Structure 1
Amino acid sequence: MRPDLPEVRASAVALVAVLLLIPFAMLAALMAGGWQPLHELDRDVTDTLHDVAQASPFLTTVMSWLTNIFHPNVFRVAALVLVIWLVRRRARRTAAWVAVTMIAGGLLGGLLKLLFERARPELPDPVSHAIGYAFPSGHALNSVLGVAVLVVVFPRLRWLWIIPPVTALTRVVLGVHWTSDVLAGLLLGAAVPVITLAVFRRFAVRASDRVPDGEPARQR
């Protein structure tokens, strides 16, 4: 049996997308607009966790290992392997969804970084370093994308959902992202698979409607 995309309701997709994108848009607007309470919260959390990281070298080491294990490239490689496996199983539509979801989400995150150009935290005696802009967090975004495509194809791997929040936490503890960066990454990372899944299922329904009576629809 070939892995296929799950059925989705248009109304449910719309609701989930709104519930994810509205908070993301609000975070982006408040961050870009310099809303003081948000920036103060970001600073307070970062300063507190930075003190904790400096006081505990072991914690810093663990966070560094985790942030590297859950690097965006790890999820991209996993997604590539998944695409190859799906193609070999003749599940080409599902393979295409995985590829489009990972590529679209990654490109969107990169474009938003260039759009907002938010600087990363600057801390005295930092415990870690990262390059590029901060908003949204690429680690958080890609961890959700990677876990989402794996869980959709293999529903028994739902326990993998613990990875994105852990990844987000590592970025803040290491002082390379603000809290609002990782929250935005998590929200956007969850919204993209929902939207692409709805689009692919919509095209699948239209394709099946064009199949003549008596001829089974085949996944392409």
Structure 2
Amino acid sequence: MSPSGPRTLAAPPRSSWRGRRLHPDHARGLRLTLAAAAAFLVAVPFTLLAVLVLGDWSPLRRLDTTVTDALVGYAADHPAWVRLMTLWTDVFAPMPLRVGALVLVLWLVRRGARQLAVWVAVTMTVGGLLSPLLKLLVGRPRPDLPDPVAEAPGLAFPSGHALNAALAAGVLLVVFLPYARPAGRRAVWTAALLLALVTGFSRVALGVHWTSDVLAGWLLGVAVVAATAAALTVWRADPPGRPAPPTGRGPAAGTGS
């Protein structure tokens, strides 16, 4: 071909499937792979725990009984502690958390972060549907104590409070953590951990759930957050309130992060 003739650009080499899965900037790259792997790895201990509960494994039953008896015994002698735990468990119950998630979805939509808004809605909905379904499948009764300090209807495994608190904590981290300053990041982490841990603990402290119910709720919540984040690749969504990058073909066009 003559030097003055038209030139054709060689097509870039196609990367392997493994290379695309582990590429940090590929749309279905490293972070999606890690999120999918995390969802799988968290779902495994949840499944194992469910099998142990269904099989009435005696070491797990003894552990649940010992912890519940100790915490309920303390609560019976400290009415102020019962009121505090009851207040916390009511404020951060599944329904108030869902209302808070709806407010967050509307705020994200108004800010133009529609992908994050969809992810929040999907995550809370999937978790909300899984909890009653799994309760029916496992059919585990709540603790039947001679002197209860609180009561709750329905079945026990997994804890709906713990599950929804873990979902809400995950939403806080995914939505706000990437765009917070260092002090703000510590505040977000603290709020998320307190929300998940204290809500789950309150259910055992009040004697309405076994410890394994709460642990199962936490595990399932983390698995749902990781799975939906992987499916919707929310880390590639634009930050709330930040304009989307340009999509033109010129050299100044952005690519999104």
TM-score, length basis structure 2:
0.75
CA apart distance, 1:212: 8.7
Partner of 1:165: 197
Residue 42 (structure 1) aligns with? 64
1:118: which partner in 2?
A: 140
Residues 93-152 of structure 1 show CA distances to partners (whole Å, capped at 9, x for unaligned) of 110000000000110111101111110001112110000110000000000111211221
Name the CA distance, whole Å, in 2 between partners of 1:196 and 1:8: 16
Letter in 1 for 2:161: H
Q: Distance in 2 between matches of 1:11 and 1:122?
A: 43
1:89/1:8 Cα in 2 relative to 1: closer, same or farther (>3 Å)? Answer: farther
Change (3 A) 1:63 1:90: same
Does structure 1 retain, via aligned residues, the 8 Å contact 2:33–2:230? no
User: Which letter does structure 2 place at the counterpart of 1:180?
Assistant: S
User: Which residue in the other structure is 1:174 paired with?
Assistant: 206
Partner of 1:200: 232
Residue type of the alignment partner of 2:194: I
Task: State the aligned residue count.
Answer: 207
Q: 1:38-62 CA deviation, whole Å, 9 max, x = no partner?
A: 1111111111111111111111111
**Secondary structure class of the residue paired with 2:59:** helix
More deviation, 11-20/174-183: 11-20
Q: What stretches of structure 1 move > 2 A for 4+ residues in a row?
A: 211-218
From 75, 80, 84, the counterpart of 1:62: 84
Matched, 1:80 2:80: no
Match of 1:185 among 212, 217, 224: 217
Using the aligned pairs only, state the percent identity. Answer: 51
TM-score (ref. length: structure 1)? 0.87
Distance of aligned partners of 1:8 and 1:142 in 2 relative to their CA distance in 1, 3 Å threshold: farther
For residue 22 of structure 1, give the secondary structure of its aligned residue in structure 2. Answer: helix
Higher Cα radius of gyration: 2
Task: Give unpaired runs (5+ residues) of structure 2.
Answer: 1-28, 178-184, 238-246
- With 43-52 and 174-183 compared, the bigger mean Cα shift is at 43-52
Task: Report what 2:11 is aligned to.
Answer: none
Higher relative contact order (Cα pairs below 8 Å, separated by 6+ residues): 1
C-alpha displacement of 1:11: 3.2
Does residue 1:14 correspond to 2:36, yes or no? yes
- Paired residue type of 1:130: A
* CA offset digits 1:165-194 (Å, max 9, x no partner): 111111001000000000000010111011
What is the alpha-carbon distance in structure 2 between the residues aligned to residue 216 and residue 29 of structure 1?
49
Structure 2 Cα separation of the partners of residues 122 and 166 of structure 1: 22
What residue is the counterpart of 1:3 in the other structure? none
Q: Does the CA-based 8 Å contact 1:8-1:201 persist in structure 2?
A: no
CA RMSD of aligned residues (A): 2.3
For 2:96 and 2:169, how far apart are their aligned partners in 1? 11
Quick check: 1:135–1:184 contact (8 Å CA) kept in 2? yes
2:212 counterpart letter in structure 1 = S
**C-alpha spacing 1:73/1:96, structure 2 compared with 1 (3 Å):** same
Q: Which residues of structure 1 form unaligned runs of 5+?
A: 1-6, 206-210
- Aligned partner letter, 2:153: I
Deviation at 1:13, TM superposition (A): 1.6
Pairing 1:131–2:153 present = yes
